[in-house]
Amino acid sequence: MIRIIALRLVRLVITMLVCSFVVYGALYLAPGGAMGAITGGRILSKADQAEIVRIYHLNEPFLQRYFAWLQGLFTGDFGISLVSREPVVALIEPRLVTTAMLVGYSGMLIIVLGVGIGLFAALRGGASDRISVMAMSGLAAVPAFLASSILLFVFAVSLGWFPSFGAGGGFVDRLYHLTLPAVALALASIGYVGRISRASFNEEKNRDHVQTAVSRGLPRRSVIGSHILRNSLVPIATSVGITIAGLIAGSVVVEQVFAVNGLGSLLIKAVDEKDFAVVQIVTLVLVAGFVIVNTIVDLLYPLLDPRIRKAATR
C-alpha cells in the first residue's frame, strides 16, 4: 500500500509540474509576448515597465524565468495584481475557502443523493425504478446555468427562503448562503452518479454470491451492505471522482450567477480586466484541485477493492 501511495504522489508531482509549465508557458504564446500578456495592453510608464521586468524576470532566459516563478510559488510569492496592486495570494486565500466549501457541499449532495437514489431504484424496481430513472435522466440534462437561474428565481426571489447572493460569514451562515449554489452545481451530477450507481447495484445484485447470501437467509441489510454496496463501490467512486473534479470548473458559472466571491468569479473578473498574474495563479489552483481530487480517487481504489491492491503489489 505504501508503494501505491508513493507512486501516486510521484505522479501527482509530475502532473503538477507539467501543468505549471503549460500555464506559465502560455504567457509567451499570447499576442504581444510576455510583456503584452502581463500588462493587458495597458500603457505603462518606463518605471512601471522596468518594475514588471524585474518582478517577472523578463530579461532572463525562459527556463530561468520559469524556475524563478516556480520557486516563488513554493515560497508563497504568487506575484502582484496589476489592477488592485495587491499580492495575488491575498486575493486568492479568502476565495479559495469559499470555493472549497461550495465544491465540498456539492460533493456531499452528489454522494448522498446520487448513490441513495441509485440504490433505491435498483432495490425497489418496478414503477419506482422507472420514475427514478426518468428523474435522474432529467437532472443529468440540466446545465448548471439553467439550474442556477431557476433556483435563484424560485427559492430566493419568489419565496425568499434563501439569500440571492453572497457567501455569508461564519461556517453556518456560509452553508446557508451556499445551499442554492451547491444544489445548482450538484443537480446534473446527482443524475449522472445516480444512473451509474443504479447500473452498478443492478449488476451486483444478480451475481451468484449475492444470490447465495440471500438463499442462506442472511439479513437483507447484511446482503445490501456487505455484498451489493461494498462490491459496487469502485465504479461509483470513479463516477463520483470525475464529477467532483468537474465541479471545480463548474463553480465558475454558479459563482457568477449567485454573486459568490469564489475563485471562479475572481477568474472571470481577472480575465475581463486582463489581470494576467491573477488569471495565471487562479488557473493553476483550479487545475491543482482537479488533479488532487483524481489522485485521491486513485488512492481509494486499493482500499475499496483488495484485488486492485494485490495486483498493484505484484
Task: Return the pLDDT at 222.
Answer: 74
Task: Return the pLDDT at 27.
Answer: 67
pLDDT tens profile 258-284? 888 888 888 888 888 777 778 888 888
Burial of 187 (0-12, 13-18, 19+ CB in 10 A): buried
CB–CB of 190/138 below 8 Å?
Answer: no
Distance CA 109, CA 248 (A): 15
Residue 132 belongs to what H/E stretch? helix 126-140
* Integer CA distances (angstroms), 117 to 105, 239, 244, 245, in order: 18, 15, 18, 21
CB–CB of 166/152 below 8 Å?
Answer: no
Is the domain covering 88-272 a CATH 1.10.3720.10 domain? Answer: yes
Task: Return the pLDDT at 109.
Answer: 92
Neighbours of 73 (CB within 10 A): 16
Positions in the chain short of pLDDT 70: 1, 27-44, 225, 227, 304-314
CA angle 154, 158, 162 (to 5 degrees): 70
Distance CA 23, CA 26 (A): 5
pLDDT tens profile 85-143? 788 888 888 888 888 889 999 999 998 998 888 888 887 778 887 888 888 888 888 88
44 φψ region: left (φ > 0), alpha (ψ -120 to 50), beta (else): beta
Q: Give the global pTM.
A: 0.80
* Every domain of the chain and the residues it spans: 2-74, 88-272
